[in-house]
Structure 1
Amino acid sequence: MSNALAVATVTQALALLIEHHLHPEIDMAVSVETRKPPSDPPTEPTITVFLYQVSHNPSMRNSDLVTRASDGTLLKRPAAALDLHFLISAYGEETELVGQRLIGSVVRTLHEIPVLPQELIEEAARRPYLAGSDLAESPQKVRFTPLQLDVDETSKLWGMLHHTPYALSVVYQASLVLLDGHQKPVPAKPVQKPDVRVLPFGAPGAPEPGGVTGGAGATPPTGAAPAAESAGDRPAAAKRATNAGATSTARATVAKAASGGGARAAKKAAGDPPGGRRGSKPGGPSAGSRTRKATGGGARDGGRDGTGRTGEARRTDDPGHPDDGTES
């Protein structure tokens, strides 16, 4: 994390990195400048470091959201993640291939040292115009990656530089530069009282497997056995739960039988007339019923009665029956 001077600090540190690693291949004085390619190409050996584009890092775009507490206090300040795109050009006497020698030295240096060293960042921050830069304190390192531009993209890039002739150059991307906001988050409160407990399931105050927290004042659900006091009481708790379930089932069966018997009694009472018919006996079938009495062999045995009717039962109210209420 760093302040707004990080962008300029990276540019100056990159120029120092190229300048400090020109030797031993380059045995001439080379000027490394942090500016765009000049419209009038210099004849002296020169390297220009030009920051032509600053873009947001796509992978870190949504990870810098502001985090605040419910009362509005800042818990995490935002940080902008940036990618820096540099155009590095080389100038010199073309007959001696000075530009190509300089570009070769630049590529070798950035390939050998792809991460910006901290000592170069501190040296760049000592410039008067970069006083106050805290890029060296940032835990995030800046890495340089070469970019491959085709002819069309290269022509568009140099087309933005009006009246600037093309020069041999390479393009590098510096990632990742994080810029912090001005506000500082409120520090977290220290732990005042540590409270760490280890309880087995079923102990008072321990969470139940179903998500219900037990305890001395907790009310167990209906039909459930009370929580066991320890892990060794689990069989006893299971037995009590089984007995409680059996008792509930028995009570439900008795209540159902009682309700069924009452319904049958009410139905019977509703079907009996106020007074029985003649010939009905106490405790016997009702007068309204058509109960038949089989005599002799009966209809089931295929026998005959005194009337000569086969397979039929005589009605109790037929004349001449002993139970018809008349005397023979």
Structure 2
Amino acid sequence: MSNALAVATVTQALALLIEHHLHPEIDMAVSVETRKPPSDPPTEPTITVFLYQVSHNPSMRNSDLVTRASDGTLLKRPAAALDLHFLISAYGEETELVGQRLIGSVVRTLHEIPVLPRELIEEAARRPYLAGSDLAESPQKVRFTPLQLDVDETSKLWGMLHHTPYALSVVYQASLVLLDGHQKPVPAKPVQKPDVRVLPFGAPGAPEPGGVAGGGGATPPPGAAPAPAETAGGRPAAAKRATSAGAASIARATVAKAASGGGARAAKKAAGDPPAARRSSKSGGPSAGSRTRKATGGGARDGTGRTGKARRTDDPGHPDDGTES
């Protein structure tokens, strides 16, 4: 977190970072200036650091929307998260490729040192116009990332610079810069009376393992919900009632299905018919009496092994017909 001077401090520190790392490849005096590209290109070796756009960081834009309570009390110090976009241009004698040599040095430096060092921030803050900057104390570091612009984007960018000829340049983004608000949140009130109870199982007032209340006169701790009523089987009465209600609901659904013509099988099952009767009804076979007559009236083997028809007891000449032979 830092104050409003952080934006200008980053620009000045970036210029110092480029200036301090020109050697040993560049063996000439180079002027590093924090301004927009000049309309009259200089002939001396020059590097311009121009901040052309300031945008809100997309990932941190809504991180501190709720900063006040319902009564207006400040809960969190608001902070604006910014991304800085820099246009770095190089000028010099074109026959000696000075501009290209300077751009190569800039790219090498920012690729080797992508995070802005603290000592350079402190050196930049010693400028009279940056007195009071606290960017060096911010825990958030500023990182430089190269941006790739196509021909159209480059043309639009240089088109904004009126009457400024194009020069060899690179574009970098610096993020993240956090700007704090002036107001400080009200500190939270300290804890006046801690109320924390730690009781081992089995102690008076402690619940039994598994949530079953102890039988030795143990009472639940203050503020705890009462234990559910239990039955002799060890299950809560509410669970018993829920099970019974579910079974009754299933039975009612079965009877309703049978009554609405859901099939003879469901009707007989709901009516409680014995299995034998259900099998007889399903197969459509003879009754018990007919099965008995069939069994008694079936063929019988005589002593010769031949099978003959059995005579009914009421036939004439049968030993049991009541007549004498």
Relative to the length of structure 2, the TM-score reads: 0.64
**1:105 positional shift:** 0.2
**1:316 positional shift:** 40
**1:279 positional shift:** 47
Q: In 1, Cα distance between the equivalents of 2:129 and 2:148?
A: 33
Comparing 209-218 and 311-320, the one that deviates more: 311-320
Change in CA separation of 1:277 and 1:212 when aligned onto 2, cut-off 3 Å? closer
Deviations 1:154-179 (A, max 9, x none): 01100011110000000000000001
Q: In 2, Cα distance between the equivalents of 1:205 and 1:322?
A: 92
**1:219 positional shift:** 11
**Does the Cα contact within 8 Å between 2:205 and 2:221 map onto a contact in 1?**
no
User: How well do the aligned residues superpose, as a CA RMSD in angstroms?
Assistant: 10.9
**Does the Cα contact within 8 Å between 2:258 and 2:266 map onto a contact in 1?**
no
Deviations 1:224-273 (A, max 9, x none): 99749999999999999999999999999999999999999999999999
**1:24 positional shift:** 0.3
Comparing 260-269 and 80-89, the one that deviates more: 260-269
Q: In 1, Cα distance between the equivalents of 2:87 and 2:251?
A: 89
- 3-state SS of paired residue (2:263): helix
**1:67 positional shift:** 1.9
**1:77 positional shift:** 1.4
Comparing 176-185 and 307-316, the one that deviates more: 307-316
Larger Rg: 1
Change in CA separation of 1:87 and 1:241 when aligned onto 2, cut-off 3 Å? closer
- 3-state SS of paired residue (1:60): coil
**Does the Cα contact within 8 Å between 2:48 and 2:88 map onto a contact in 1?**
yes
Deviations 1:168-227 (A, max 9, x none): 000000000001111111122333344332357998877999999999999999999974
Change in CA separation of 1:236 and 1:95 when aligned onto 2, cut-off 3 Å? same
Relative to the length of structure 1, the TM-score reads: 0.64
**1:65 positional shift:** 1.7
Change in CA separation of 1:39 and 1:198 when aligned onto 2, cut-off 3 Å? same
**1:64 positional shift:** 2.2
Deviations 1:123-146 (A, max 9, x none): 000000000111111110000000
**Does the Cα contact within 8 Å between 2:206 and 2:219 map onto a contact in 1?**
no
**1:149 positional shift:** 0.3
Change in CA separation of 1:154 and 1:232 when aligned onto 2, cut-off 3 Å? farther
Alignment of 1:149-168 (within 5 A): 149-168=149-168
**Does the Cα contact within 8 Å between 1:33 and 1:46 map onto a contact in 2?**
yes
**2:305 corresponds to which of 304, 308, 311:** 308
Comparing 287-296 and 100-109, the one that deviates more: 287-296
Change in CA separation of 1:123 and 1:254 when aligned onto 2, cut-off 3 Å? closer
**Does the Cα contact within 8 Å between 1:204 and 1:214 map onto a contact in 2?**
no
**Does the Cα contact within 8 Å between 2:205 and 2:219 map onto a contact in 1?**
no
Q: In 1, Cα distance between the equivalents of 2:292 and 2:320?
A: 13
**1:73 positional shift:** 1.7
Change in CA separation of 1:89 and 1:287 when aligned onto 2, cut-off 3 Å? closer
**1:291 positional shift:** 36
How many residues are matched?
324
**Does the Cα contact within 8 Å between 2:103 and 2:169 map onto a contact in 1?**
yes
Percent identical pairs in the alignment equals 96
Comparing 5-14 and 234-243, the one that deviates more: 234-243
Deviations 1:80-104 (A, max 9, x none): 1000000000000000000000000
**Does the Cα contact within 8 Å between 2:15 and 2:49 map onto a contact in 1?**
yes
Comparing 173-182 and 229-238, the one that deviates more: 229-238
- 3-state SS of paired residue (2:146): strand
